[in-house]
């Protein structure tokens, strides 16, 4: 490793599973100090313990504004600053056009959109005070193409991407870069109900589901391989590090070529 995040402090939401967990591990390996948030105390504390003294778990639900504000406060209290915010937490949302309820829409907005807007709202002041920062929002190719997620999920990810690009323009003068990653199909528990459901299954059952999923996903992209959480972690590292110093308002699609299989 080349310590590409030496002396950096990162806050990663939804760091107890999948992409967030892989990104936390890579960021720590690259020299960052990292606060991961999530809703599973047991998993979060276990991951932080495995990553060592440069990782901390903080219990926070991204659908709750007070928890988001507290996550930023905790990061500042623990490590003195905030350089990198990865708004990653998310999960399945929605319903069909003719059956979706107001409650499902509200829940989806809170989980996938206001979580990101409020995360940015609370991160920007300490970043400005620190002379700059990096915000990375985890979107999806579902925001770009039909049938990569249900309609609510897709529409919210599209909104998240647009919001991020506009925010990048406004925050550029403060040396805050804002970028989006749009993962394609990445083998994580989101495909079998999200990490909350995965937590109810045995390790063997989760491993069996993961193996089957990876085999199926390898048939669904031009590259004959399944996308892995580590692929998105590497993209986040590029955007977070000085290698990406001139990259802002960008949507980094990491999908093995999948979006090009579907015309606009
Ligand atoms: P995952 O289920 O493995 O992880 C999701 C993480 O978000 C978990 O840590 C979970 O606890 C956390 N989370 C969910 N709801 C939360 C809440 N209310 N408060 C706090 N934390 C919460 O799934 P993943 O695939 O790693 O998903 C991470 C992000 O990547 C999501 O935003 C998802 O929409 C996006 N994404 C995933 C894929 C994919 O194919 N896996 C593709 C495109 C985008």
Domain chopping of the chain, boundaries: 9-191+228-253
Report the percent of the chain where pLDDT is more than 70. Answer: 99
Which atom of ligand 1 is found nearest the CA of 184?
42
Calculate the CA 237 to chain-centre distance. Answer: 12
- Which of 57-66, 187-196, 223-232 shows the lowest mean pLDDT across its residues? 187-196
* This prediction's pTM: 0.98
Per CATH, the homologous superfamily of domain 9-191+228-253 is NAD(P)-binding Rossmann-like Domain (3.40.50.720)
pLDDT tier, 263 (very low <50, low <70, confident <90, very high otherwise): low
Alpha helices in 15-114, H assignment, sequence order? 18-29, 41-51, 65-79, 102-108
**Rounded to the nearest whole angstrom, what is the distance from the C-alpha of residue 2 to the centroid of ligand 1?**
28
As for ligand 1, residues whose beta carbon falls within 6 Å of it are: 13-14, 16-20, 38-39, 61-63, 88-91, 111, 138, 140, 183, 185-186, 188-190, 194-195
How confident is the model over 62-79, as pLDDT tens digits?
Answer: 999 999 999 999 999 999
Q: Whose CA is nearest to atom 32 of ligand 1?
A: 90
Q: Which residue numbers are catalytic?
A: 153
- Give the model's pLDDT for residue 264: 59
Average pLDDT of the segment spanning 171-195: 96
Distance CA 181, CA 53 (A): 28
**Rounded to the nearest whole angstrom, what is the distance from the C-alpha of residue 252 to the centroid of ligand 1?**
17
How confident is the model over 143-176, as pLDDT tens digits?
Answer: 999 989 999 999 999 999 999 999 999 999 999 9
Specify the DSSP element, H or E, that contains 117: helix 115-129
């Amino acid at each position: 490793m080349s310590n590409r995040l030496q002396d950096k402090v990162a806050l990663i939401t939804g760091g107890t599973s999948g992409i967030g967990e892989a990104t936390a591990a890579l960021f720590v390996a690259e020299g960052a100090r990292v606060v991961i948030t999530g809703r599973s105390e047991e998993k979060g504390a276990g991951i932080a313990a495995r990553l060592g003294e440069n990782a901390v778990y903080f219990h926070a639900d991204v659908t709750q504004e007070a928890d988001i504000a507290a996550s930023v406060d905790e990061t500042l209290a623990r490590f003195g600053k905030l350089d990198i915010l990865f708004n990653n937490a998310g999960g399945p949302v929605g319903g069909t056009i003719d059956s979706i309820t107001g409650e499902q829409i509200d829940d989806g907005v809170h989980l996938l959109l206001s979580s990101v807007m409020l995360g940015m709202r609370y991160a920007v002041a300490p970043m400005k005070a620190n002379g700059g920062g990096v915000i990375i929002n985890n979107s999806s190719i579902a925001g770009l193409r039909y049938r990569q997620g249900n309609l609510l999920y897709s529409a919210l990810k599209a909104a998240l991407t647009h919001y991020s690009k506009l925010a990048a323009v406004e925050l550029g003068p403060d040396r805050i870069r804002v970028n989006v990653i749009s993962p394609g199909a990445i083998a994580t528990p989101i495909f079998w109900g999200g990490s909350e459901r995965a937590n109810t299954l045995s390790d063997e059952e989760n491993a069996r589901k993961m193996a089957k999923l990876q085999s199926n996903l390898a048939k669904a992209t031009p590259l004959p391989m399944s996308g892995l959480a580590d692929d998105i972690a590497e993209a986040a590292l590029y955007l977070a590090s000085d290698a990406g110093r001139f990259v802002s308002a960008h949507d980094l699609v990491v999908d093995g070529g999948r979006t090009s299989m579907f015309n606009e």
